Amino acid sequence: MSDTPTNYKGPQRVLSGMQPTGRLHLGNYLGALKNWVELQKDASRECFYCVVDMHAITMPHDPATLPDAVRSAAAAYIAAGVDPEKSAIFAQSAVPAHAEMAWILNCVARLGWLERMTQFKDKAGKDKERASVGLFTYPVLQAADILVYKATQVPVGEDQKQHLELCRDIAARFNRDFGKGEAVFPLTEPLIQGPGARIMSLRDGTSKMSKSDVSDNSRINLEDDADMIARKIKKAKTDPEPLPATVEELEGRAEASNLVGIYAALSGQTKADVLAEFGGQGFGAFKPALADVAVQYLAPISDEYRRLISDKAEIDRMLTKGAERARAVAQPVVDETKKTVGFWG
């Protein structure tokens, strides 16, 4: 879009979120949460971290357990190091501006753009006629989550790359159609970083670690205790070959590559560093070393999670405060957007 204004001058803001669709796992942590914690250290950028319960209802869900699932995700954010004093932590549904903005952006996004989204195809499966309309427009709601804060950076895992590109397309189209030469919305930058950007299932190195995988052994949950973590790593699928000496030789060895990537992400090294240490060794030696690193890293997070989740009232107070902070930023943005598109009042 050549005549699209790109002169956005607003403040730097960070937004990200997770669905309360199950227990948060190592993939969610290494792909996103770990970077959320880093980003909040820079006080010049305000950070907004939501639990996206409106996204969670795009698939069949249980209304009776959803509120506790939101609390559980919020507790996991804090246990992982997100500081509710520095960052706004809140439930998406507690900030009505997300839904208002989503409607406007539904009218900016093009059907053809959404039809290309691979996550919809994966989640809808073969019977897409029966998928909810919400699942189809999920990426537009995600764009609304981002643009209602005029967020300039979004830390996510690699699986979200396509949705973030769509968000930029929507922002660019809005700026072009309604901006009168000004960039109303930023072209948000996706922050997809490090060896943790795509953590795969422990049972199948070709599919991503996911909350909704039926096998609990496929993932390490942030609330798993040391024994459970060690057991899951011991059971993780591997191949019979020893670890190679170079990253290139991991090609075609999805499970080995995944375990080396997890070790690298947890120990703050590159895959090449890990192979320099373990190349030539079998999984009989590597898996216990990986289990040690994982337990050492995750034990404080799971201990803190258990402490936090035992006090629901405190989590609710924090979510209420976070929603107030979020509303104070989001409502003026959506009000301005409504004026821009010509709504009455």
Residues annotated as part of the active site? 123, 208, 211
Residues 6+ apart with CB under 8 A from 342: none
Angle at 105 between CA 151 and CA 67, to 5 degrees: 70
159 binds ligand AQP, rule: CB under 6 A: yes
The piece of 1-9, 156-164, 272-280, 298-306 that touches ligand AQP (CB under 6 A) is 156-164
CB of 117 or CB of 183, closer to ligand AQP:
117
Residue of this chain nearest to ligand AQP (CB atom): 31
CB of 209 or CB of 236, closer to ligand AQP:
209
208 binds ligand AQP, rule: CB under 6 A: yes
Q: How far lies 32's CA from each of 24, 153, 155, 305, 318, in Å?
A: 11, 12, 6, 17, 21
Please give the structure tokens belonging to residue 74.
């919020």
Please tell me the distance from the alpha carbon of residue 317 to that of residue 50, in angstroms, as a whole number: 15
Please tell me the distance from the alpha carbon of residue 144 to that of residue 105, in angstroms, as a whole number: 7
211 binds ligand AQP, rule: CB under 6 A: yes
209 binds ligand AQP, rule: CB under 6 A: yes
198 binds ligand AQP, rule: CB under 6 A: yes
87 binds ligand AQP, rule: CB under 6 A: no
Q: Which of residues 2-31 bind ligand AQP (CB under 6 A)?
A: 18-19, 21-22, 27-28, 31
CB of 173 or CB of 208, closer to ligand AQP:
208
156 binds ligand AQP, rule: CB under 6 A: yes
Burial class (CB in 10 A: 0-12, 13-18, 19+), 1: exposed
Please tell me the distance from the alpha carbon of residue 79 to that of residue 96, in angstroms, as a whole number: 27
What's the closest the beta carbon of residue 243 comes to ligand AQP, in angstroms?
21
CB of 23 or CB of 287, closer to ligand AQP:
23
CB of 137 or CB of 160, closer to ligand AQP:
160
Residues touching ligand AQP, count (CB under 6 A)? 20
- Closest to 24 in 3D by CA, of 232, 212, 267, 255: 212
The piece of 63-71, 143-151, 153-161, 243-251 that touches ligand AQP (CB under 6 A) is 153-161
157 binds ligand AQP, rule: CB under 6 A: yes
What's the closest the beta carbon of residue 36 comes to ligand AQP, in angstroms?
9
261 binds ligand AQP, rule: CB under 6 A: no
Q: Rule CB under 6 A: choose which of 93, 160, 258, 337 binds ligand AQP.
A: 160
Please tell me the distance from the alpha carbon of residue 131 to that of residue 88, in angstroms, as a whole number: 32
Burial class (CB in 10 A: 0-12, 13-18, 19+), 217: middle
CB of 184 or CB of 274, closer to ligand AQP:
274
210 binds ligand AQP, rule: CB under 6 A: yes
Strand ranges inside 232-275, DSSP E: none
32 binds ligand AQP, rule: CB under 6 A: yes
Q: Kindly write down the DSSP assignment for every residue of 63-129, as one continuous string.
A: TTTHHHHHHHHHHHHHHTT--TTTSEEEEGGG-THHHHHHHHHHTTS-HHHHHT-HHHHHHHTT-GG
Q: Kindly write down the DSSP assignment for every residue of 127-154, as one continuous string.
A: -GGGS-HHHHHHHHHHHHHHHTTT-SEE
Q: Which of residues 273-292 bind ligand AQP (CB under 6 A)?
A: none
CB atoms within 10 A of CB 237: 17
141 binds ligand AQP, rule: CB under 6 A: no
What's the closest the beta carbon of residue 33 comes to ligand AQP, in angstroms?
8
Q: How far lies 239's CA from each of 153, 236, 293, 338, in Å?
A: 38, 10, 21, 56
The piece of 99-107, 151-159, 238-246, 293-301 that touches ligand AQP (CB under 6 A) is 151-159
Q: What amino acid is encoded at 59 in this protein?
A: M
For binding to ligand AQP (CB under 6 A), which residues are involved? 18-19, 21-22, 27-28, 31-32, 156-157, 159-160, 197-199, 208-212
